[in-house]
Amino acid sequence: MNRRIKKASRHTNQNEGLIFEKSSPGKRAFELPPLDVPNIDPTEALGENHRSEGIGGFPEVSEIEVIRHFTRLSTWNYAIDYGMYPLGSCTMKYNPRVNEFVARLDGIATEHPYQPQELSQGCLKILRLLEQCLLEITGMDNITLQPAAGAQGELTGLLLIRAYLEKQGNPRKKVLIPDSAHGTNPATAVIAGYEVENIKSESHGQIDVDKLRELVTPDVAALMITNPSTLGIFEQRIPEIAKILHDKGALLYMDGANMNALAGVTRPGDLGVDVMHLNLHKTFSTPHGGGGPGAGPVAMKKILEPFRPVPILVEKEGGRLALESIRPDSIGRVKAFSGNFGVLVRALAYILAYGPGIRQATEDAVLNANYIRKHLEGAYDLPYSLPSMHEVVFSDAHQKKNGVNTMDIAKRLIDYGFHPYTTAFPLIVPGALMIEPTESESKEECDLFIDAMRSIAEEAATNPELVKTAPHSTRVRRLDEVGAARKPILRWDPSRQEPQPDSAEHRKRKHLEPTPVIPTA
């Protein structure tokens, strides 16, 4: 059978070595004009301590070599501007450029965190309006914009719970976490000083409420629940779960990383959630990836408000805004400055641009996930049949029969021009394929992805070696990921210079075959 690969193509870029390999003594990217001040020795003017002949081991290259080197490297990267990122749980969506423009405006990008508050009223108004918007979206009573990312937001939320319970005389010992929660949740609970007790999901992939009822003892401080869960399934019994906890004096923490499936449709505060964080870099428009930047505001009910991190944004006489740093019951600072301001600006720009239409974005994200689910059912195993929200989780059970696993499928997907989906997560699904298309993707792009995934399923059945040895179209073949993680080489050493990629010597050393054209089944 010949199936035309619609997405994949050979890239017209060039091989590129390290910039150190281009270096030659005496080359430079710029030349300063000669000193034109008469009778001045530059050594004497600057002082010997302020002069340097260069940086030891630094590459010496021309300007055009610098420009071409980094431009060529940029063509090797995959980006949301090129195509779809189906990474589940990460919500890697396209962020409108207008939000970037707003964040770079003079008076926003140029403000200094230490300038007087009298000169920062415009920036403080941005923060106040964002607080009001996020409280409306979540249905909560108060909020802090300080946390720099989701995991720090989780920690802030649990510290609020701990402070609240300590005020009552007993911080308690345990935090309950379902097996369908995000992986940072258990680590956060331990850092906050709690023991972790796991709750297994029931047969449909939701939290086992009967088991929860048994586990909520006077030692339990909170339940940390991800909703929708990492299975992409909405936890339907949240009000009942909240009542079980509240009746025993415990609180309900919701991981809001998957808010892209709820914004404008459901407000967690209305369901009984006591505290939650939001990943603004997932749901509300900030470039996501590469370790940052991010923001993880924490919204809470009134009972937790006295313990909010300082400084707290307050309104004074005449409408003047100020940051207050003295609150006797506060958990203290969680960040050096008052939030990651550039990310917060982008989030507000995103929310104001959508307005009530933010509900449409959520519905489109859910529609895309279900569209992909419908067209891949049968080709891939679907372990849980409850309706999907913003993401869908398949398993490699069908392909395993021919020795093909989720990592093989993901690597082969690169040959079709897509970034891989999330592999092997959540852990409760063996061989998981976690796919989240977000609202960004058109039907045409979803169809290309579906076509690629169905084609790979056919290859796994008829020519499994083709999939197991993928990728075939990349600059290097499959890497030893375990070796790269355990023995990384993070700096250039001239004594260990490697030959140019795809050269005969390179293939000899790496035991590689010449880079082939993309094979088809």
**Model confidence, pTM:** 0.86
Q: Which among 356, 379, 399 is the end of a domain?
A: 356
519 in any annotated domain: no
Report the candidate in 156, 172, 160 with the shortest Cα–Cα distance to residue 216: 172
pLDDT exceeds 90 at position 30: no
Q: Residue 459 belongs to what domain range? A: 358-478
Q: According to the model, what pLDDT value does residue 79 have?
A: 85
Question: How far lies 120's CA from each of 114, 115, 311, 317, in Å?
Answer: 10, 7, 15, 16
412 in any annotated domain: yes
Does residue 311 contact residue 334 with C-beta atoms inside 8 Å?
no
**Three-class SS state of 3:** coil
Side-by-side strand order, sheet with 195-199: 142-144, 298-300, 275-278, 251-256, 220-226, 174-178, 195-199
Q: Give me the number of domains the chain comprises.
A: 3
Q: According to the model, what pLDDT value does residue 454 have?
A: 98
Neighbours of 216 (CB within 10 A): 21
Q: Are residues 352 and 376 in the same domain?
A: no
Token digits for 24?
């030659």
Residue percentage of the chain with pLDDT more than 90: 69
505 in any annotated domain: no
497 in any annotated domain: no
488 in any annotated domain: no
Average pLDDT rounded to a whole number, residues 193-206: 94
Q: Are residues 330 and 196 in the same domain?
A: yes
Q: Are residues 226 and 364 in the same domain?
A: no
In DSSP terms, 377 is beta-bridged to 380
Q: 428-452 b/e with 16+ CB inside 10 Å = b?
A: bbebbbbbbbbbbbeeebbebbbbb
Q: How many residues does the chain have?
A: 521
Q: Are residues 288 and 362 in the same domain?
A: no
Q: According to the model, what pLDDT value does residue 289 have?
A: 63
Neighbours of 56 (CB within 10 A): 6
Q: According to the model, what pLDDT value does residue 515 have?
A: 44
Give residue 294's Cα distance to chain centre.
Answer: 8
- Mind giving me the DSSP string for 236-305? TTHHHHHHHHHHTT-EEEEEETTGGGTTTT--GGGGT--EEEE-HHHHS-----TT------EEE-GGGG
- Mind giving me the DSSP string for 146-210? --SSHHHHHHHHHHHHHHHHHHTT---SEEEEETTS-THHHHHHHHTT-EEEEE-B-TTSSB-HH
Q: Are residues 414 and 441 in the same domain?
A: yes
pLDDT exceeds 80 at position 521: no
pLDDT exceeds 80 at position 47: no
Q: Are residues 316 and 193 in the same domain?
A: yes
146 in any annotated domain: yes
CA distance 341 to 333: 16
Per-residue pLDDT of 270-316, as tens digits, reads 999 999 999 998 999 887 765 568 899 999 999 999 999 999 999 99
Residue with the bigger pLDDT between 414 and 35: it is 414
Q: Are residues 31 and 148 in the same domain?
A: no
Per-residue pLDDT of 132-185, as tens digits, reads 999 999 999 999 999 999 999 999 999 999 999 999 999 999 999 999 999 899
Q: Are residues 57 and 134 in the same domain?
A: no
CA distance 488 to 473: 24
Spatial neighbors of 218 by CB under 8 A, at least 6 apart, are: 172, 248, 249
- Mind giving me the DSSP string for 398-411? HHHTTT--HHHHHH
CATH number of the domain at 426, please: 3.90.1150.10
Q: Are residues 66 and 112 in the same domain?
A: no
| Residue 312, H or E segment | strand 312-315
CATH number of the domain at 292, please: 3.40.640.10
Q: Are residues 193 and 245 in the same domain?
A: yes
Quickly list H helices, 76-120.
97-103
Per-residue pLDDT of 87-145, as tens digits, reads 998 889 988 899 999 999 999 999 988 899 999 999 999 999 999 999 999 999 999 99
Locus of tokens 């239409």: 357
507 in any annotated domain: no
Average pLDDT, the chain: 89
Q: Are residues 52 and 103 in the same domain?
A: no
Q: Which among 356, 373, 392 is the end of a domain?
A: 356
Give residue 354's Cα distance to chain centre.
Answer: 22
